[in-house]
Structure 1
Amino acid sequence: MASSANTTEIRIKGIGVSPGIAIAPVQMIGSRFEEPESHPIVADGATAEKLRLQAAITTTRVQISALREQIDETVGSDHAGIFDAHLLVLDDATVLEEVVRTIDSRQINAESAYYTVINRYLESLRKIADPYLRERAIDIEDVARRVLRNLRWPSGGGMEGIRALDLSNACVLVTHELTPSDTVGLDRERVLGFATEAGSATSHTAIMARSLNIPAVVAVRDLLDRVHPGAPALIDGYHGLVILYPNEETLEEYRALKKREGQLLKKLRKLRDAETATADGRRITLSANIEFIEELPMVKAQGAEGVGLYRTEFFYLNESELRSEDKQAENYTLAAESLKPHGVIIRTLDVGGDKLFPEHFDEPEPNPFLGWRGIRVSLARPEV
Structure 2
Amino acid sequence: MKGIGVSPGVSIGKVFLKEEIEIDIEKKSIHNIKEEVDRLNTCVHKSIEEIESLYKYTLKEVGEKEAEIFNAHKLMLEDPEFIGMINQKIEDEKVNVEWAVQEARNEYVQMLESLDNEYLRERAADVKDISSRLLKNLIGIKGVDLSSLEEECIVVADDLTPSDTAQMRKDKVLGFVTELGGRTSHTSIMARTLELPAVVGVKDITKNVKDEDFIIIDGNEGLIIINPSEEEIATYEKKKESYENFKEELNKLKGEESISKDGVKVEIAANIGTPKDIDKVLENDGEGVGLYRSEFLYMDREKLPTEEEQFEAYKVVAEKLDGRPLVIRTLDVGGDKDLPYLDLPKEMNPFLGYRAIRLCLDRTDIFKIQLRAILRASAYGNVKIMFPMISNIAELREAKAILEEVKSELRAENIEFDEELEVGIMVEIPSVAVQSDIFAKEVDFFSIGTNDLIQYSLAVDRGNQDISYLYSQYHPAVLRLINMTIENGHKEGIWVGMCGEAAGDEKLIPILLGMGLDEFSMSASSMLTARWIIKNISKAEMENKVKEVLNLDSPQDVEKYIEEEITSKI
Structure-2-length-normalised TM-score: 0.51
Do structure 1's residue 62 and structure 2's residue 49 form an aligned pair? yes
Tell me how far 1:184 sits from its aligned partner.
Answer: 0.3
Kept after mapping to 1: 8 A contact 2:14/2:154: yes
Pick which of 229-238 and 50-59 moved more.
229-238
Tell me how far 1:144 sits from its aligned partner.
Answer: 0.9
Q: In the alignment, what sits opposite 1:104? A: 91
Kept after mapping to 2: 8 A contact 1:16/1:239: yes
Which of 78, 90, 110 matches 1:123? 110
| Counterpart Cα distance in 2 of 1:207 and 1:38 | 36
| Counterpart Cα distance in 2 of 1:354 and 1:100 | 42
Q: Secondary structure at the match of 2:221?
A: coil
Give the direction of change, closer, same or farther, for the CA distance of 1:313–1:253 in structure 2 (3 Å limit).
farther
Mapping for residues 1-384 of structure 1, pairs under 5 Å: 12-31=1-20, 34-41=23-30, 43=31, 45-153=32-140, 158-161=141-144, 163=145, 167-262=149-244, 289-293=269-273, 296-301=278-283, 304=285, 307-308=286-287, 310=289, 312=291, 335-337=317-319, 339-341=320-322, 343-344=324-325, 346=327, 349=426, 351=428, 355=450, 357=452, 367-371=477-481, 374=485
Tell me how far 1:61 sits from its aligned partner.
Answer: 1.4
Q: In the alignment, what sits opposite 2:539? A: none
Give the direction of change, closer, same or farther, for the CA distance of 1:297–1:214 in structure 2 (3 Å limit).
farther
Give the direction of change, closer, same or farther, for the CA distance of 1:23–1:287 in structure 2 (3 Å limit).
farther
Q: State the identity %.
A: 29
Q: Secondary structure at the match of 1:13?
A: coil
Deviations 1:139-194 (A, max 9, x none): 111111111122223xxxx4203x17873322111112111111101122222110
Tell me which structure has the larger Cα radius of gyration. Answer: 2
Deviations 1:185-206 (A, max 9, x none): 1122222110112111111111
Q: Which runs of 5+ in 2 are unaligned?
A: 258-264, 296-306, 328-385, 387-424, 434-447, 460-474, 496-570
Matched to 1:233, the amino acid is I
| Counterpart Cα distance in 1 of 2:314 and 2:198 | 28
Tell me how far 1:29 sits from its aligned partner.
Answer: 1.9
Give the direction of change, closer, same or farther, for the CA distance of 1:367–1:49 in structure 2 (3 Å limit).
closer
Give the direction of change, closer, same or farther, for the CA distance of 1:334–1:225 in structure 2 (3 Å limit).
farther
Q: Secondary structure at the match of 1:172?
A: strand
Tell me how far 1:334 sits from its aligned partner.
Answer: 5.6
Pick which of 69-78 and 223-232 moved more.
69-78
Kept after mapping to 2: 8 A contact 1:40/1:107: yes
| Counterpart Cα distance in 2 of 1:374 and 1:73 | 46
Q: Secondary structure at the match of 1:195?
A: strand
Count of aligned residue pairs for this structure pair? 340
| Counterpart Cα distance in 1 of 2:100 and 2:120 | 24
Tell me how far 1:95 sits from its aligned partner.
Answer: 2.3
Q: Secondary structure at the match of 2:28?
A: coil
Pick which of 114-123 and 219-228 moved more.
219-228
CA RMSD across the alignment = 4.1
Kept after mapping to 2: 8 A contact 1:313/1:350: no
Matched to 1:357, the amino acid is D
| Counterpart Cα distance in 1 of 2:225 and 2:293 | 30
| Counterpart Cα distance in 1 of 2:114 and 2:316 | 33
Matched to 2:291, the amino acid is T
| Higher percent of residues as helix | 2
Structure-1-length-normalised TM-score: 0.73
Kept after mapping to 1: 8 A contact 2:289/2:326: yes
Q: Secondary structure at the match of 2:215?
A: strand
Matched to 2:14, the amino acid is P
| Counterpart Cα distance in 2 of 1:354 and 1:95 | 33
| Counterpart Cα distance in 2 of 1:198 and 1:292 | 25
Question: Taking CA–CA contacts closer than 8 Å with sequence separation of 6 or more, which of the two structures ends up with the larger relative contact order?
Answer: 1
Kept after mapping to 2: 8 A contact 1:288/1:299: no
Deviations 1:268-306 (A, max 9, x none): 77x69x9769xxxxxxx999653444754434445x3xx
| Counterpart Cα distance in 1 of 2:139 and 2:79 | 21
Matched to 1:56, the amino acid is C
Matched to 2:197, the amino acid is P
